[in-house]
Amino acid sequence: MQEPISDPVVETTTQNTYGTWRYQKGWKPLHIVDAEGCYFTDASGKKYLDFSSQLMCSNLGHKNHAVIEAICDQARKLSYIAPSFTYDARADLTKLLLEVFPRGLEKFFFTTSGTEAVEAAIKIARLYTGRYKIISRYRSYHGSTGGSIAATGDFRRIPIEPVGKIDGVVFAPDMDPYRSPFGVEFGNRAEASANYVEHMIKNEGNVAAILVESVVGTNGVLVPPKDYLPRLREIATKHDVLLIADEVMSGWGRTGEWFAINHWKVIPDILTTAKGITGAYVPLGVTATTRRISDYFESHYFALGHTYEAHPMTLAPAIAAINEYRRLDLINAARRQGQYLGSRLKELMPRHPSVGDVRGLGLFWAVELVKNRETKQPFFEAEEKLAGKVSVIDKIAADMMNNGVFVQSWLSHFVVAPPLIVTKEEIDEGVRALDASLKIADELVVGD
């Protein structure tokens, strides 16, 4: 895993570019030279199983020929045109989006990232409602630009406050079935969580929208119970507040539906997405709205835009990606393989006292580690991450890399989300590596 210190690519990278979300001292990124299918290869020729689709975005795996050809074809035909013009791929992609997005979302604003898509959703909600407050949740991540990081509940917003904070974001209690802020005494903690959002709307005033990840991603793959999102939809409608679904990570087949919110048959007013729309081959985000919202801007100024909106090089590969999801039947594959992945991960619990919870949907899973199952004490806290300390989780991830498997680690859990093309044999390979490395945490488990 360790790069030779003389590697000029690593040296140039560390000396002259920033590593994200980290202290810069000691950063030595692995030099990657190739990737194909569910694997990537470093400069020494060692292959690694991509057990988290990089940043939960390489849904199609690496080196999909149809997407690559679409990029090349579009570059030869029309590599850029200003967003005030249109072209074939813009219309063709729009038609496809109308087919796969939740019915009722009919107008699209294109961005180059998920964070920009969320930023656009916040602006649209405020312009449309004439109100400015956004209700988000503490266990959330919505992006890194000014508005989206302010709406992010997790600790990454803290270092840049007040510089990066915008007024009008308030945070609701989390919908966390494993560690609910309402405690065990509540018979229906999901209902309590949703009802508290209604309490906030009544008492805050000036609320424009509720912003939620349909399935919380980086912060623990929190899958809501069946009544939570329908209840939020009911509350939003009752109080004339918009419901924004952030599907940047949970969209594009990741949970076994085109979009995770489809599991609950809920239609949001605005949906944001990115990542898997192109399989991460090029950066593209989308903010989709209902016709009711878009009709408002027929006679009101739509105060959004940027140079790369609807960029041809981003839209053409999205067409190819959607066609590949269909050709390879990857939505159904995510359901089937997700059941297998979930069962294999759950087998770890009786063997490892450090595994507190295994949860997920489709090919989107979290394995949460705890020092004590009874108290659910985590191994690592946000304050320690901000202080630059190395977690047990990171040590386990490093050990897995030594054994040829890459998995995303975050505070006290792993996000297991392989490409949708993953095979059972590759799932077995990844679970074996995790199984072997969990001994590092098992040795630190404490008694009651």
Distance separating alpha carbons of residues 23 and 330, to the nearest angstrom: 38
pTM to 2 decimal places: 0.95
Distance separating alpha carbons of residues 164 and 334, to the nearest angstrom: 37
- pLDDT for 382: 85
- pLDDT for 185: 53
Does residue 48 sit in helix, strand or coil? strand
Instruction: Concatenate the DSSP letters of all residues of 321-384 into one string.
Output: HHHHHHHTTHHHHHHHHHHHHHHHHHTTTTT-TTEEEEEEETTEEEEEEEEETTTTEES--HHH
**Who contacts 366 (Cβ-Cβ below 8 Å, separation ≥6)?**
220, 221, 357, 358, 359, 360, 413, 414, 415, 416
Is residue 193 within 8 Å of 225, Cβ to Cβ? no
- The 10s digit of each residue's pLDDT in 73-108 is 999 999 999 999 999 999 999 999 999 999 999 999
- pLDDT for 184: 55
- pLDDT for 246: 98
C-alpha torsion sign, points 248, 252, 254, 260: positive
Is residue 102 within 8 Å of 259, Cβ to Cβ? yes
User: Which amino acid would we find at residue 7?
Assistant: D
Is residue 141 within 8 Å of 156, Cβ to Cβ? yes
- pLDDT for 3: 47
- pLDDT for 189: 77
- pLDDT for 176: 86
- pLDDT for 165: 58
**Low pLDDT (below 70) residues in the chain:** 1-5, 163-166, 183-187, 448
Task: List the Cα angle 440/446/448 in 5-degree steps.
Answer: 150
Is residue 116 within 8 Å of 246, Cβ to Cβ? no
Of 121, 43, 96, give the one whose Cα is nearest residue 289. 121
All structural domains of the chain, each given as residue ranges with its CATH number in brackets, are: 31-63+329-442 (3.90.1150.10), 65-327 (3.40.640.10)
